[in-house]
């Protein structure tokens, strides 16, 4: 009798233990609370992530604008050289310097399409060199009145100058976008997650050639 | 250095706050009106307990009020849904891509540059020719139908950097999404205006005297009609005082809400303008040119408002509104705007420049008179004008009108702002151009058109007679806005009258007659605007009309050089051996020549103006008469002034 009673007691204890297990678990968080926490964490990460993505796309778009204008500039240069060649064929040194600078800049531009961050400084320098070579070409053209009077030359020169203005504004837009990106990236809470999520710092497009910094002298 | 990013952040915060306040105001007004209805129905015994919030009657009234407020909002949404292209058609603006002039090409260039700097698509560009102010605005809802409008005067008077600053400001509005915000504000304002408009409709329903004029004659309000018809059977006459009371309360609340809304809109739009200015500086990196442009536009636009029926709608979109000092103006004062973009030093500089002008001008005047470049004996007849003359003589080529204007007597400036006096003043200037006085015949004729104008002209004809040529064109230009406000019929009868005013005068010198004709033609051209003629003729195909026109300019100084004619004759392939003699020049001949020359293709027009400039500067200097003739002809041909080298 007592055995059966003890057995019953054991069964009863087991049953009670089985029932008490969920009661013991009820002191920890329910599954939906964990889900809510996970969603909250996701949102906390997603909002800054989305903002960083938007800003990254902004500077990439600004970079694409620079690329478009540089392409336009590089396309105009051979036409200009061809026109000058018709009047000043013996200025070979100047003309070949322009073409060399142009092809160097074009190669770097194509490389920068794939990886703008690492090619930026070199491209800036190459564009500076091209600008200097073009400056020398314009100086040479002053010695040829017929060339100066050529309407095609004047038109190409005006187009190039207009394109250079456009490059200036595109560069400005790019620097603005990069500055905003850097400001956000280095602020709290973005600074904690930016590097982990792969948002690297981006350099500004700075003038690398001292000659370009100089204010042009205009004489009448 | 101006921290334009910080400036933008602050302006954006304030804008958000104001938009929130606007929405709260709409909600509050709806709630108050709903409560009004609830309590009125309670007092009439149709409502059991208004203190119980979830009573169905409460929801019903609130639903009714909000839906009746939203209806005008929906209507406004439909009304203002038109994009930039539709607006351009309504304003009779000209697409910049169809025009070929240096100014328009410059506009295209700076717009392309700003589109790159702002990193946004190019809007369509439109030139608004019917406006005499320096102004611009953007209109549209999304990037597909945004249109940028610039007035012709802005293209003519602003230099490249100033035009760039103006365009940058408009691009800033596009980038800041102000177009959408303005659109929302218009709708919200319509929502707020709804209750007071409905109250007025109720009045009209009750009171026959409140009917609009065309509907009033022979009609009675439907409620009075109902009340009278049903008087025998008990009627609804008791409803009239109730509806009146209701509508009065409705109107009171609605009007309060509307004024509060207008005030909020003004505050809101001011913030957006400051934000757009800050962003324009970001795009151009130069606050100086924006400040200069604003300063210049403000001083040049006084008394000039945007023409056309859309003026009220466009007020808050404009670069500068017509009433900048009004407490409900949607733009901050120009000084505040310049200070906000860090232009304190520039403001001081411009103020000093303005203060130092009279002394400098006086010295220049004396120098010019001593050199014989100006007829000094005439200058002192109207000292104030003499001052302006000196200033304009310094840079006649570009800023003629604006600078003379700063020295004009207040009496004449006031006259240019009032339609009747502007009419008198213009008549006086016309007679002065023809060396005619105000005869009794002319006085009687003018009195038939406008008695007040005739009286003013009699009183001030001695002052007008002492005016120097330099003041004539600026005064006419300034009077244009006021003249355009006159009824069309009166304007036409006055224009028809002008050539007859000096008919009983003795035969005048041909030059004076020609100048009077030119003034009349100028007035007619600007007051009866016609679409520009699309010319196809080449310069070398014009022949005799060109000969007449060039001769008119050549004789402006009283003598015409033979060598210059030989040179021009060769270039223009003209068969005539000499200038047309001065005596042969008549208004009729000049009229037909101008008409023919207007057929010139746009490509050749700048060259024609260069030739004209060459003629008047042949002797190394030019007189005011020559300059005025050139300027008027340029206006008639729809061309800008060429650079004068002398």
**B513 and B560 fall within a common domain:** no
Ordered DSSP codes for B71-125 = HHHHHHHHHTT--HHHHHHHHT-EEGGG--SHHHHHHHHHHHHHHHHHTSPPPEE
pLDDT tens for each residue of B235-275: 556 667 777 777 787 788 888 888 888 887 787 788 888 88
Give pLDDT, residue B382.
32
Specify the pLDDT at position B99.
75
Domain contains B10 = no
Could you tell me the sign of the dihedral formed by the alpha carbons of B279, B283, B287, B291, in that order?
Answer: negative
- Distance between CA atoms of residues B456 and B382, nearest Å: 19
Residue B529 has a pLDDT of 55
Residue range B537-554: average pLDDT?
A: 78
* Interfacial residues of A (vs B; Cβ cutoff 8 Å): 58, 61-62, 65, 69, 162, 165-166, 169-170, 172-173, 176-177, 180
Residues B497 and B550 occupy one common structural domain: no
Q: In what order do the strands lie in the sheet with B147-151?
A: B94-95, B124-128, B147-151, B136-139
Cis omega before residue B33 (within 30°)?
Answer: no
Interchain proximity B113–A173, CB inside 8 Å: no
Same domain, B321 and B458: no
Summarize the confidence of residues B59-78 as an average pLDDT.
79
- Res. B396 pLDDT band, cuts 50 70 90: very low
Largest CA distance in chain A: 130
Which comes out higher in pLDDT, residue A148 or A201?
A201
Count of A–B CB contacts within 8 Å? 29
Segment B179-203 shows an average pLDDT of 76
DSSP letter, residue B136: E
Domain holding B590, by residue range, is 539-637
Average pLDDT, chain B: 72
Q: What local confidence, expressed as pLDDT, does residue A40 receive? A: 92
Question: A65 to chain B: which residues are within 8 Å by CB?
Answer: 116, 119
Whether residue B499 sits in one domain with residue B434: yes
B417, part of any domain: yes
| Cβ neighbour number for residue B370 with a 10 Å cutoff | 10
B173 domain-assigned:
yes
What distance in Å separates residue A109's CA from the closest CA in chain B?
Answer: 19
Determine the straight-line distance between the first and last CA of chain A, rounded to whole angstroms.
Answer: 126
* Whether the Cβ atoms of residue B335 and residue B347 lie closer than 8 Å to each other: yes
Among A67, A167, A169, pick the best mutation site for testing chain B contact (most B Cβ within 10 A): A169
Among B53-57, B294-298, B376-380, B536-540, whose mean pLDDT is lowest?
A: B376-380
pLDDT at residue B533 tops 60: no
B94 found inside a domain = yes
Question: Do B620 and B510 fall within a single domain?
Answer: no
Tell whether B624 is covered by a domain. yes
Closest CA to B631 of B484, B496, B526: B526
Q: Which residues contact B513 (CB under 8 A, 6 or more apart)?
A: B434, B586, B587
Query: Does the beta-carbon distance from A65 to B116 stay under 8 Å?
Result: yes
Burial label for A123, CB within 10 Å (0-12, 13-18, 19+), is buried
pLDDT class of A192 with cuts at 50, 70, 90: confident
pLDDT, one tens digit per residue, over B556-571 is 766 677 777 777 777 7
pLDDT of residue B530: 56
- pLDDT at position B50 is 66
- pLDDT given at position B227: 47
Q: Which of A58, A61, A169 sits opposite B117 (nearest CB)?
A: A169
B→A interface, C-beta within 8 Å: 5, 109, 112-114, 116-119, 282-283, 285
Distance between B7 CA and the closest CA of chain A, angstroms: 15
In terms of average pLDDT, the best of A76-85, B43-52, B624-633 is A76-85
Residue B167 pLDDT exceeds 90: yes
Of B596, B608, B540, B620, the closest CA to residue B572 belongs to B540
pLDDT of the residue at B76? 73
What's the rounded Cα separation, in Å, for the pair B521 and B503? Answer: 17
Q: What is the pLDDT of residue B311?
A: 57
Of residues B94 and B171, more confidence is placed in B171
Q: How far is B128 from chain A (nearest CA, A)?
A: 26
Q: How many domains does chain B have?
A: 3
What is the interface pTM, i.e. ipTM, of the complex?
0.71
Residue of chain B whose alpha carbon sits nearest to that of A174 = B117
Residue B83 confidence class, pLDDT cut points 50, 70, 90: low
Instruction: Indicate yes or no: CB of B112 within 8 angstroms of CB of A166.
Output: yes
Q: Is residue B450 part of a domain?
A: yes
Q: Which of A6-20, B46-60, B434-448, B479-493 has the lowest mean pLDDT?
A: A6-20
Q: How confident is the model at residue A1 (pLDDT cuts 50, 70, 90)?
A: very low
pLDDT in tens, A6-50: 556 666 666 655 555 554 455 688 888 899 999 998 988 888 898
The answer to whether B500 and B418 are in contact (CB under 8 A) is: no
Residue B413 CA to its chain's centroid (Å): 17
Domains in chain A, please, with CATH? 57-213 (1.20.1440.20)
Q: What is the distance between the alpha carbons of residues B141 and B86, in angstroms, rounded to a whole number?
A: 12
Considering the domain architecture, whether residues B521 and B424 belong to the same structural domain is answered as yes
Residue B419, pLDDT score: 82
Band of pLDDT at residue B10, cut at 50, 70 and 90 = low
Whether A166 sits inside 8 A of B116 (CB atoms) is: yes
Per-residue tokens: B495: 């224009």
Q: Are residues B548 and B614 in the same domain?
A: yes
Same domain, B549 and B510: no
Q: Six-digit token pair at B62?
A: 């609130």
Scanning every residue of chain A, which has its alpha carbon at the shortest distance from the alpha carbon of B4? A176
Are B521 and B623 members of one domain?
A: no
How much is the pLDDT for B320? 74
**Residue B169: what pLDDT?**
92
CB contact under 8 A, B113 and A169: yes
pLDDT digits (tens, 9 = 90+) for B240-251: 777 777 778 778
Instruction: Of A119-133, B2-16, B64-78, give the lowest mean pLDDT range.
Output: B2-16
Q: Are strands B94-95 and B136-139 parallel, antiparallel or unpaired?
A: unpaired
Give me the pLDDT at residue A219, please: 34
Give the residue among A47, A182, A62 at the shortest CA–CA distance from B5: A182
Helices (H), B502-578: 510-527, 544-554, 562-572
Phi/psi for A219 (5° steps) reads -125, 140
CATH number at residue B150: 3.30.2010.10
Q: Are B602 and B569 in contact (CB under 8 A)?
A: no
B619 part of a folded domain: yes
Question: How close is the nearest chain A Cα to the Cα of B178, in Å?
Answer: 20
Q: pLDDT value at position B389?
A: 41
Residue A12 has what pLDDT? 62
pLDDT reading at B377 higher than 70: no
Return the exposure string of B388-398: e unless at least 16 CB atoms fall within 10 Å of the residue's CB, then b. Answer: bbbbbbeebbe
What is the pLDDT averaged over residues B28-35? 83
Q: If you measure CA to CA, which chain A residue comes closest to B114?
A: A169
DSSP tag of B642: P
pLDDT in tens, A71-123: 989 988 888 888 888 887 777 788 888 888 998 888 888 888 878 778 888 88
Mutate to test the interface with B, among A64, A71, A176 (most CBs of B within 10 A): A176
Least trusted range by pLDDT, from A114-118, A173-177, B570-574: B570-574
| Count of all residues that appear for chain A in the document | 220
Question: Is the pLDDT higher at B450 or at A9?
Answer: B450
Q: Is pLDDT above 70 for B466?
A: no
């Amino acid at each position: 009798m007592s055995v059966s009673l003890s057995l019953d007691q054991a069964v009863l204890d087991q049953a009670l233990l089985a029932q008490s297990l969920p009661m013991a678990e009820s002191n920890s968080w329910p599954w939906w609370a964990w889900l809510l926490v996970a969603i909250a964490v996701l949102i906390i990460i997603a909002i800054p992530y989305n903002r960083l993505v938007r800003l990254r796309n902004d500077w990439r778009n600004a970079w694409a604008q620079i690329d478009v204008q540089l392409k336009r500039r590089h396309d105009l240069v051979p036409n200009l050289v061809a026109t000058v060649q018709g009047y000043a064929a013996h200025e070979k040194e100047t003309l070949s310097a322009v073409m060399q600078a142009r092809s160097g800049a074009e190669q770097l531009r194509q490389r920068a399409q794939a990886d703008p961050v690492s090619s930026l400084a070199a491209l800036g320098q190459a564009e500076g060199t091209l600008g200097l070579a073009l400056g020398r070409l314009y100086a040479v053209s002053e010695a040829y009145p017929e060339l100066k009077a050529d309407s095609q030359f004047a038109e190409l020169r005006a187009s190039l100058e207009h394109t250079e203005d456009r490059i200036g504004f595109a560069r400005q837009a790019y620097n603005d976008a990069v500055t905003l990106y850097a400001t956000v990236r280095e602020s709290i809470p973005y600074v904690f997650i930016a590097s982990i999520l792969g948002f690297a710092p981006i350099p500004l497009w700075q003038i690398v050639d001292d000659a370009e910094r100089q204010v042009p002298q205009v004489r009448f | 250095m101006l921290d334009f990013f910080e400036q933008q952040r602050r302006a954006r915060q304030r804008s958000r706050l104001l938009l929130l306040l606007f929405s709260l105001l709409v909600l509050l007004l709806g709630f108050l009106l709903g409560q009004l209805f609830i309590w009125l129905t309670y007092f009439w015994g149709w409502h059991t307990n208004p203190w119980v919030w979830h009573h169905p009657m409460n929801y019903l009234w609130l639903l009714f009020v909000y839906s009746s407020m939203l209806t005008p909002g929906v209507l406004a949404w439909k009304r203002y849904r038109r994009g930039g292209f539709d607006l351009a058609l309504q304003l009779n603006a000209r697409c910049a891509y169809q025009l070929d002039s240096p100014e328009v090409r410059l506009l295209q260039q700076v717009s392309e540059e700003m589109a790159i700097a702002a990193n946004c698509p190019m809007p369509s560009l439109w030139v608004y020719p019917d406006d005499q102010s320096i102004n611009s605005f953007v209109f549209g809802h999304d990037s597909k139908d945004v249109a940028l409008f610039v007035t012709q005067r802005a293209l003519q008077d602003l230099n490249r950097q100033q035009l760039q600053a103006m365009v940058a400001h408009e691009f800033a509005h596009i980038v800041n999404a102000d177009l959408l915000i303005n659109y929302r504000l218009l709708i919200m304002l319509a929502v707020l205006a709804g209750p007071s408009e409905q109250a007025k409709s109720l009045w009209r329903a009750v009171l026959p005297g409140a009917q609009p004029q065309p509907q009033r004659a022979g009609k009675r309000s439907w409620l009075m009609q109902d009340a009278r018809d049903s008087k025998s059977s008990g009627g609804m006459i008791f409803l009239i005082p109730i509806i009146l009371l209701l509508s009065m309360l409705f109107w009171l609340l609605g009007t309060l809400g509307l004024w509060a809304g207008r005030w909020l809109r003004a505050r809101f739009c001011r913030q957006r303008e400051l934000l757009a200015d800050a962003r324009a500086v970001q795009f151009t990196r130069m606050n100086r040119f924006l400040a200069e442009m604003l300063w210049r536009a403000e001083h040049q636009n006084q008394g000039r408002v945007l023409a056309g029926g859309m003026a009220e709608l466009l007020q808050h979109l404009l670069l500068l509104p017509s009433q900048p000092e009004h407490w409900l103006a949607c733009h901050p004062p120009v000084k505040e705007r310049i200070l906000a973009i860090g232009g304190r030093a520039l403001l001081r500089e411009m103020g000093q420049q303005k203060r130092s002008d009279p002394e400098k001008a006086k010295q220049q005047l004396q120098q010019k008179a001593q050199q014989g470049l100006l007829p000094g004996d005439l200058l002192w007849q109207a000292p104030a004008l003499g001052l302006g003359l000196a200033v304009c003589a310094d840079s006649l080529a570009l800023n003629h009108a604006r600078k003379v204007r700063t020295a004009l007597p207040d009496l004449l400036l006031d006259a240019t702002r009032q339609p009747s006096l502007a009419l008198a003043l213009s008549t006086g200037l016309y007679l002065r151009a023809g060396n005619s006085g105000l005869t009794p015949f002319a006085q009687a004729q003018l009195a038939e058109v406008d008695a007040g104008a005739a009286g003013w002209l009699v009183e001030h004809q001695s002052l007008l007679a002492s005016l120097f040529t330099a003041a004539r064109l600026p005064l006419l230009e300034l009077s244009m806005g006021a003249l355009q406000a006159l009824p069309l019929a009166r304007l036409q009868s006055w224009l028809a009258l002008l050539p007859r005013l000096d008919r009983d005068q003795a035969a005048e010198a041909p030059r004076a007659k020609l100048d009077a004709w030119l003034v009349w033609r100028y007035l007619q051209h600007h007051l009866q605007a016609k679409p520009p003629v699309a010319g196809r003729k080449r310069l070398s195909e014009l022949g005799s009309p060109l000969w007449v026109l060039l001769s008119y300019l050549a004789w402006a100084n009283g003598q015409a050089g033979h060598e210059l004619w030989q040179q021009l004759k060769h270039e223009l392939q003209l068969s005539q051996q000499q200038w047309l003699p001065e005596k042969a020049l008549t208004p009729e001949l000049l009229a037909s020549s101008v008409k023919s020359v207007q057929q010139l293709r746009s490509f050749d027009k700048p060259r024609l103006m260069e030739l004209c400039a060459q003629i008047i500067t042949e002797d190394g200097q030019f007189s005011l008469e020559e300059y005025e003739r050139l300027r008027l002809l340029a206006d008639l041909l729809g061309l800008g002034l060429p650079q004068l080298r002398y």
